[in-house]
Amino acid sequence: MLLTLLRKCVTFDYMEPTFSIRNEGTVVAITAHNDAALTLIHDNLATESWQWLGNYTVVVDHRFAEDVVNILVDAGGEIV
């Protein structure tokens, strides 16, 4: 039992930060799939509270989306 819990903790700690991207017309929604991805967003992007849909999706203007995605990928994120 303890070994199973330990494996889950270790796996979680080293989870790859993954995102999904949705084009919504004038804005692009970037959704963090795990806490590692969410931390990557908070550490690398300056966002305002009105840009967030819930706790895991940040919305950016479509003109800046490519640069934002490049920043997240360069920081170690993976788009799925």
> What is the pLDDT, as a whole number, of residue 9?
41
Question: In a structure prediction context, what are the per-residue pLDDT tens digits for the chain, which is 80 residues long?
Answer: 444 444 444 444 457 899 999 999 999 999 999 999 999 999 999 999 999 999 999 999 999 999 999 999 999 999 98
This prediction has a pTM of 0.79
> What is the pLDDT, as a whole number, of residue 4?
46
Long-range contacts of 61-66 (CB under 8 A, 24+ apart): 61/26, 61/27, 61/28, 62/23, 62/25, 62/26, 62/27, 62/28, 65/21, 65/23, 65/28, 65/30
